[in-house]
Structure 1
Amino acid sequence: PRSFIAELLCEQLAPWIEDPDGVTSVLDLCTGSGCLAIFAAHAFPKARVDAIDISPDALAVAARNVADYHLAERIRLIESDVFAALGKERYDLIVSNPPYVKAESMRSLPAEYRREPELALASGDDGLELTRAILAAARQRLRPNGLLVVEIGHNREELEAAFPDTAFTWLDTTAGDQYVFLLSREELP
């Protein structure tokens, strides 16, 4: 996986999650190939994991990967536009590596990235369109004391400017501390 969230899941999101066995429900929003859902299932062995994507093609790839890891009984794949198909489900943890490429950057992506569907990369003029949608609805989708972890690429300054009253916790990854944020349910805007 290319997501920095994967390395954080390998550490069970310590120290923010003190009891990994206490995590019983995880949502991987914008799952793509399902890699973060699989990492989450391994990191939190007592959790049921929902993996959502808007793309049927991505979910087909995720289904193969989930089957390869023998996790079909614990990971449920759902076709949905963000939270739309979830009903009233609530989670202990939501992770997301949503599309976050700015419109200007989309026009100059290297050939390697242009092989990906645009739907998997583009997120409006400033790269935050999907992140805004996640932040707007995540509070209603998290259980008390639940956590939201989102990767946003190179958009930290734009995100902090768009949400100046939100106390983002920036998680340290191998690439630095500007790509993945964490918010508790209570800290969400």
Structure 2
Amino acid sequence: MARGAKKAKKKPTKRGRAEVKSRKVAAGELLTLLDFVRYAVSRFVEAELVFAHGTTDPVAEAAYLVCEILHLHPDQFEDFAHTRVTAAEAKRILDVIARRITTRKPAAYLVNKSYMRGLPFYVDERTIVPRSFIGELLDSHFAGEANQEDAAGSLIDDPLAVKTVLDLCTGSGCLAILASRNFPNARIDAVDISADALEVAARNVANYGLRDQVKLYRGDLFKPLGGQRYDLIISNPPYVDAAGMAALPRECRAEPRIALDGGDDGLDIVGRILNEAGRHLTPEGGLLCEIGRGREPIEAAFPQLPLLWLDTEESSCEVFWIAADDLP
């Protein structure tokens, strides 16, 4: 399945979709942010939407959309939950709720924004909606300057000494940008095969003022990099297998197929990364790679590799680490 994607549920009937689309809200019926969130949750549940793009349930997605329309950070929702919205704001909120239901596009595409580790990133249909457990792992397993007390448990001895980082299949560039926070002294290269995705990544890199630190390359995995070596390689590549692609919910089918499709067993890209990464790592480096629910097939395909599986608050065994010395 796709990153965090739930199994697609039964689609609403044509009559049900028409009723959702035609429902009107009279002036004064909904007043506060909380009112609009409750209304959105009811509509989302009724329409049987799937939540797989940064929010995991209808309440979180409703709050996220309401905040975006009102130009609030999601963390500010509780501060304003009981405040009223204007008539113009109400119209915009109801419009985005209706579009989420009728188009079934990921919410991030409707507001052109997604969050990772609390940071906003621009996103549109040219790239997958960013969602990865690697951002959390960079904070928890790669101690930086701000959390040196955790350095003893870091997978890299001295993150401040990391000089080069590679982000493969960068998409919107979010992981490369997050890596710049953990490795402030590093040059970060980010690669994607999609020119469209790299346009989105370039926008995000510019938004964070990182053009001098983060360099974007177009190409097929390591090919545009020559013989360069890196202290750390991170990647959230396409890893959905054929069965998962066939079962993708409509929300996920709105995303670029190339960013999801990992071939029959989901290992087409991941296998190439494992076979080639060793030639592009420094002796003390390592590879951090997300593969979703592919642990069993990848261990069957590479039984000789001592993959270290890392968990996060919301995932178990979906990301592995392997040191350069252990790669072919």
Are 2:136 and 1:7 aligned? yes
Q: Which residue of 2 aligns with 1:67?
A: 206
Compute the TM-score of the two structures, normalised by the length of structure 1.
0.97
Compute the TM-score of the two structures, normalised by the length of structure 2.
0.57
Within-5 A mapping of 1:129-148: 129-148=268-287
Looking at structure 1, the residues matched to 317 and 176 of structure 2 have their Cα atoms a distance apart, in angstroms, of 22
CA offsets, 1:32-88, max 9 Å, x none? 000000001111000000000000000000000000110010000000101011111
Q: Of 233, 243, 250, which residue of structure 2 is paired with 1:94?
A: 233
2:265 aligned counterpart, secondary structure: coil
Retained in 2: the 8 A contact 1:32–1:53? Answer: yes
Question: In structure 2, what residue type is equivalent to 1:71?
Answer: L
RMSD between aligned alpha carbons?
Answer: 1.0
CA offsets, 1:142-183, max 9 Å, x none? 001111000001100010111111110001212233100000
Q: Of 178, 193, 196, which residue of structure 2 is paired with 1:39?
A: 178
Q: Of 162, 172, 187, which residue of structure 1 is paired with 2:311?
A: 172
Structure 1 gap segments, 5+ residues each = none
CA offsets, 1:105-145, max 9 Å, x none? 10110111111110000011000110011011100000011
Retained in 1: the 8 A contact 2:173–2:190? Answer: yes
Between 6-15 and 63-72, report the one with greater CA deviation.
Answer: 6-15
Aligned-pair identity (%)? 55
Runs (4+) off by over 4 Å: none
Q: Which residue of 2 aligns with 1:186?
A: 325
Higher strand share: 1
Looking at structure 1, the residues matched to 206 and 232 of structure 2 have their Cα atoms a distance apart, in angstroms, of 23
Within-5 A mapping of 1:44-123: 44-123=183-262
Retained in 1: the 8 A contact 2:133–2:315? Answer: no
Question: In structure 1, what residue type is equivalent to 2:248?
Answer: L
Looking at structure 2, the residues matched to 19 and 76 of structure 1 have their Cα atoms a distance apart, in angstroms, of 23
Retained in 2: the 8 A contact 1:12–1:44? Answer: no
1:85 aligned counterpart, secondary structure: helix
Retained in 2: the 8 A contact 1:8–1:173? Answer: yes
Between 26-35 and 9-18, report the one with greater CA deviation.
Answer: 9-18
Are 2:167 and 1:28 aligned? yes
Aligned length, in residue pairs: 189
Shift of 1:12: 5.5
Looking at structure 2, the residues matched to 19 and 47 of structure 1 have their Cα atoms a distance apart, in angstroms, of 12
Q: Which residue of 2 aligns with 1:163?
A: 302
Question: In structure 1, what residue type is equivalent to 2:136?
Answer: E
Question: In structure 2, what residue type is equivalent to 1:10?
Answer: D
Q: Which structure's relative contact order is higher, taking Cα pairs within 8 Å and 6+ residues apart?
A: 1
2:221 aligned counterpart, secondary structure: coil
Retained in 2: the 8 A contact 1:12–1:20? Answer: no
Are 2:263 and 1:124 aligned? yes
Retained in 2: the 8 A contact 1:146–1:185? Answer: yes
Structure 2 gap segments, 5+ residues each = 1-129, 144-153
Structure (1 or 2) with the larger CA radius of gyration: 2
